[in-house]
Structure 1
Amino acid sequence: MAESKKKCRQYSVDHLKFGFLPSEADKRLPMCLLCNKVLSNDSMKPSKLEDHLRRYHPDKINKGLKYFRILKEKYEKRPAVHCMFALTSKSNDDGLRASYNISLLIAKCGIPHTIGEQLILPAVEEVLKTVLHKSPFDILKRILLSNNTVQRRTYEMSSDIESFLYNYLQTTSFSIQLDESTLPGKEALLLAYVRFVMDEEIHEGLLFAKALETETKGESTFNVLSDFFTEKSIPFTNVISVATDGAPAMAGRYRGFISHLKRIIPELTSNALHMRLFAQLCDENDENFQRLLLHTEVRWLPKGACLTRFYSLVESVLEFLESKDPGLKENLLNLKADIAYLTDLFEEFNDLNLQLQGDSPNLIKTKGVISAFLG
């Protein structure tokens, strides 16, 4: 199947009301008249252009189209010498943008920052000389990729993402999921994940990971969340639903975390009712467990463990769905053999993963474990 091409968005005259013109270097890229920042083609959406105006130029939100038309006329009448300096500045900005984009790629791959100078720049130099037959000197000197530079760029981008997330949650409704975990040193850790809608798409991300200094009771958990919301100016009224692991400290009726939260948000929805009904059904069926596991990006909770737990309770799940969702029950029955196969497969992978962990892994031990698994 041919790979679908990414849609290229075009500039519209309506974008001027947000303070944007098409970039002189590339008409497919929007440029802000207020800060001269050039955004990506994917940002050529009214919602994203308006978001840039709201975040970086909040004092200009209510200026209107007439104000930006005047700015446009002044921009188009600027002296030729300004254009010359702007071209030089644009060239430097391109190198800076490339440095940030490559730093982002390095961070996403989780590889050492030194690869920028050791591999990426030499590879770019080779392409410029061999394929494009151009001198690489002028280009490479504008792309800074030292170890410290990549580290600094990554930190700046992560800080900007955090600030954007906190600011966005101040003005939109979202769901929150909480989970308590224990680190190897027996420190209690509270992780909070949020799910929200932005640009007509559902997004999910880690909100924070905070240590529970004293106890792990519902009130302590609520106080950690409350302090964080107060620090980031996020109103509790924006929370529309909450999910937890079902532990008594989280779902307790009187002193659990959800009970404290419902005192502030009475209309809050949660999965506590279904969880209690399912736990009661598992108890009546004499199951070894009373709840399912919900996987999040907690690295010490493998996805295979969630699948193993699900299949061990599959008969109770089918009985529970009989009155709740008969259609889903029918689909589950049809896929029961596939789920069993995946459960066995992931269990093997989980066992292999555990054997490769430890305080002192070495090449001989690792090779022996993998060879035995493949054999």
Structure 2
Amino acid sequence: MISMEAWIWISGCLKFKELKHKLQLQQNMFSCMHSQSEGAVKASFIIAEEIARACRPFTEGEFINNCIEKVCGIVCPAKKQAFANISLSRNTIASRVDELGSDLQIQLKEKAKDFVANSLAIDESADRTDTAQLSVFIRGVDAKFSVTEELLDLRAIHGTTSGQDILSQVEQCVSNSELQWNKLVALTTAGAPAMCGGVRGLVREKHTGENHCIIHQEALYGKVLGMGQVMTVVNKTVNFIRSRGLNHWQFRSLLEEENCVHEDLPYHTEVRWLSRGKVMQRFYDTHNARFMESKQKAIPELEDEKWLSDLSFLCDITDHLNGLNVKLQGRKQLITEMRDSVKAFQMKLRLWEGQMHQGNLSHFPVCQSVSDAVTIPFPTEVDAGKLNTLKVEFSRRFADFERQKINFDLFANPFAVDADTVPVHFQLNSSNCSVILI
């Protein structure tokens, strides 16, 4: 016969096992919920990153969530609740993007501590609310020659945008990022006077090096050709067509009826200088469409064979300049590679100038087509003079490249340079040649 004490002990053991089993079930449930919650948060961050990269509105998250739930209800109904736990509301996406941005800033700040040398590129432009936005990019190199290129900051400038205002914003950006001024070896800007003024102020105050943006300099060359009379007519015509919805629709309909190779005519903007070549080419390809005449806005210049010759030259040369500009763009490019592209283009200018003097338009297809159509002699000598002007302007603006030729050649191919022409401390130690990278 079991005693009362034994019966109480057995009952206690059974109760303990029951409670232990319930606790294990609860722990497993919480563990499963935690795992699902962690996965849902991670998925939310991934989708928020994709929305930010695509520059889509934050409200896109709700649309994506709706699509996911409907797809999962068909493909894997058992997992529908797990996908429903992913929060993709507008506020959540905004919060996720802010957290991702803050994390990237922290990572960049940590990387910047290891930079042996760095350079900044700054540019200013107005947004659609007419607020000046100053973008600051950084390129840094650490002791292992690992190159980092990132957007350092985007700062709004309210009020004036003088050189002192730009300088003040750059100083704040450098200070917030905890960069060291003694490691700043170059500051790249556009050719605008305010930007150059800011650079000069920074040079005098912080004793840094200075150079100007290669791409921006190349974009200024079209202005030295003195062909504003051509661009004025083109811009006026394009604005008339594109600024009115009815005109734009009728123009597109006319191009479609005439089976034109193009379906539309783009705007030209000074901010996006690559658009000039596209606008010029489209304008030439569609200038035979008598749309302006139908609107009682005839363009007399289109009947002027000399003006058409100037238009054809501007079409071809801007196309060549755009090709160079595209080569100079892109991440992880070395200065020596950009120098080679510019030098190759300078050699092309010399070749084209000589061919123009001979009346050879092989590399200027639009000029060739106009030359075959007009009754007057094509002004090859005038265009050769313009090419010479462009060649001289290239040499002037890229004079720094010639002054650094020895250093560029030493870095690009240290075993092909004359040892007597390089600095003494490089003559016997070729492994140090990679220092030119910074």
- The TM-score normalised by the length of structure 2 is 0.43
Q: Which one has the bigger helix percentage?
A: 2
- The TM-score normalised by the length of structure 1 is 0.49
